[in-house]
Structure 1
């Protein structure tokens, strides 16, 4: 699709929205239809994702994409009517007897750009929020996962009117054109590097953007915590989709005294989770050769600078099959590329810092992460950590699963993104919180109009004095 065609599609959507914004009944029907078509095409979506990766556990796609998407639709259908209710607020005393309230209204036509690592969830989950808020939408799945992009396009376009919800597919040039359209809101999931380009493309139109990015999410292990349990939960979160997850733990911070035990436990976890890993249909492949080469380059750079690479499997990586086996990397330094960019693979560096203060200082000196994982049972230390760090989200004593909490916002901060979605927060992202004040026929403010007589001057001076703190 060319840029003029995209522009024409957006104009048609905006016109249709102005003529008939989706009613509550329309929204409910659309959410139900979306749920139905995802269920009806579940196997097609799973097979398309498998094809994109060359090998990805069907159970992972079902558990990490289809199930949370359906549960989010259920949550939205149950709650969005309540989210739309107008809410009264106390009026300012000097404006009595006026009343004040706010209500959420849809923005219009929004653009949603998905991500290849969880194409189904990261394209359709924002759509759930956009529908619940009452918007029209145009979707652009990632071209890096073309098979799943085409299935999404087919099931969306064959079930929704073009002027309401439509999906387009294409290469990076189309993505560039897409992000430069004057949407009423633009939602992007992807890398920090591309996020900067998206924001720059949206700026000339003053299009508001939500950027769901990534970054280096640390897992901090306190010396008192069970290394066995920490290793199990960290490796589980790390190895979903072979590490190609935006909230995967990117590196570990722990005292050097824990290294040997963590290595032992991590090897045991990999053997238990993925026996015979090179022939295991439940261990995903790297998405393409370029990403595989990038991971190899990170390892090579670290090794040349003195890092120790530990294989967690008895089997070896294979570029031919895009199999990247899990690895720990010890003796890392800040100068290594592996500690400077998001890894997005099954490689886990270990940074040895002995104290909690050192760990927090390191995290704070670097770009704010999308997720922060902390393993400790001491409430006082947990409270201290929360007070002295900043991240998109926090999960204590586990990894990854916080993003499945529908009543919590999900989103980054700083380099890891801006804005939130999921549940009520996603509804708010695609809405305008519109303030309304209703004035009465008799109002105190009428006495404050010019001309400012001596009596009015005294009244204004009195008002200023009684509001002083």
Structure 2
């Protein structure tokens, strides 16, 4: 074929997208048909599937670690073990321990007026669940929702991020080794495929990602009245009181910030610190950071920013803040490197709300520090902006803790810690407002992917017809006298 006859790349891309969409719709139809034939999988079947999933993760652990490292350019295997592998296994173990109790119908009370009767709630699988996974923790944020969906008895279709092709390849092989595609299927592709995926008539759709994309997902789902769970993000603040030793405070929140190079939805986004303690806080962060990430290691042992586009975005935040008069303080001796997609933890002193770094979720190793005079200023500032996914209080003072807890909103809170509420299996995880809609993990995950079906039943005795028409009898008058007051 001559050059003139070569097919343009754009035509090839359109053809690939069209093929992916066709396959996706076919997969969805197969799952719907399969669910219609098995609407309530047994407890034993669900347990068997979860155990197989856990075993497959353990068998493929090293392949997953290697794939994560390749996708990030470099990612610490320890961070992958903690953030992706351990958290996924823990979710399976917790679910296996409690699933039998979750599945039992719940008895509900019946008032005297409706006696004799019985009431209960039966948790029924919804059907075919859609899961849109992000790139920052591609294993855990695929497996975690999948565990909840399977525990509830559903079938699942998963759309994985195009930013993590190596990890996707391992997960596709792992899942195909356990499940027929009519049970768990995977869709790959870029934004156009994701858009089509979110428009399928799922029985429930869970999306993890940015607030901006979350709006598009919810809009697409609304066309089919699909219920959604949105796990988004936002600017999660740290609030330090004027009494806690700053070395102690830093120890409690810094790993939540530095893990995965800050590319975590619940990562501390900025810090409120009493003005008189800001310089001391900077010194404490610098000291703790150097002990955790010695400069002599260089960036060969540091997790990278996922790609150059994201790295450029972060550099732009720093450049703008500096041009507007803020002080930018990179930590360690290893400078930012665009080719390697590396950026050290960088502090910003003197930022304000006019700067992009204080308007957008940072999602990287940048940490603005804001001095404050009075706690009420902090609370007013937090409440004036979108509700965060996480809020982190560094204080041993109960009054300080409760003042913040009772006067702010956030998806979740850590007191004298940061970010790790996400991996406490018995706590629901979710946002509020711009940081998300709905929650999952633990029993909340099981219930999110279940329909709570009310069942009201009567036996042979039936007295309700005593209140049927014709109205105006003595019984009606007696009933109103005693029950409508």
Both proteins in one fold, TM over 0.5:
yes
Q: How many residues align?
A: 466
RMSD value, Cα: 1.3
- 1:15 pairs, out of 33, 44, 63, with 33
Match of 2:97 in 1: 78
Say yes or no: does 1:54 pair with 2:73: yes
Aligned with 2:374 (options 355, 363, 377): 355
Q: How many Å apart are 1:234 and its aligned residue? A: 2.2
Using the alignment, how far apart are the partners of 2:301 and 2:48 within structure 1?
Answer: 36
Confirm or deny: 8 A CA contact 1:192 1:213 kept in the other structure. yes
| Aligned twin of 2:436 | 417
Q: Distance in 2 between matches of 1:255 and 1:277?
A: 33
Q: Which residue of 2 aligns with 1:87?
A: 106
2:70 counterpart SS class: helix
1:431 is matched with 450
Aligned match for 1:249, one of 264, 268, 275 = 268
Secondary structure (helix, strand or coil) at the match of 1:110 reads strand
- Correspondence 1:171 to 2:195: no
- Paired residue for 1:212, among 223, 231, 234? 231
| Structure-2 residue corresponding to 1:186 | 205
Distance (whole Å) between structure 2 residues aligned to residue 424 and residue 364 of structure 1: 30
Q: 366-375 or 1-10, which moves further after superposition? A: 1-10
Range 55-64 or range 224-233, more displaced: 224-233
Match of 1:2 in 2: 20
Bigger drift between 444-453 and 216-225 goes to 444-453
Distance in 2, Cα, partners of 1:9 & 1:386: 45
C-alpha contact 2:20 2:188 (8 A) present in aligned 1: no
Distance in 1 (CA, whole Å) between partners of 2:346 and 2:253 is 13
Aligned to 1:364: 383
Structure 2 unmatched runs, 5+:
1-18
Per-residue CA shift, 1:17-52, capped at 9, x if unaligned?
121132211111100110011111111111111011
- Please report how far the alpha carbon of residue 457 of structure 1 lies from its aligned counterpart in structure 2 after TM superposition: 4.2
TM-score by length of 1: 0.97
SS in 2 for 1:170: coil
Q: How far off its partner does 1:429 sit?
A: 0.6
* Secondary structure at the counterpart of residue 137 of structure 2: helix
3-state DSSP class of the match of 2:439?
coil
The whole-number CA distance in structure 2 between the counterparts of 1:404 and 1:192 is 22
Deviations 1:182-214 (CA, angstroms, capped at 9, x unpaired): 000001100101100100110110000000000
Given that 1:56 and 1:281 are in contact with CA atoms closer than 8 Å, whether structure 2 keeps it comes out as: no
Distance across 1 between alignment mates of 2:275 and 2:444: 40
Q: Which stretch shifts more, 112-121 or 143-152?
A: 143-152
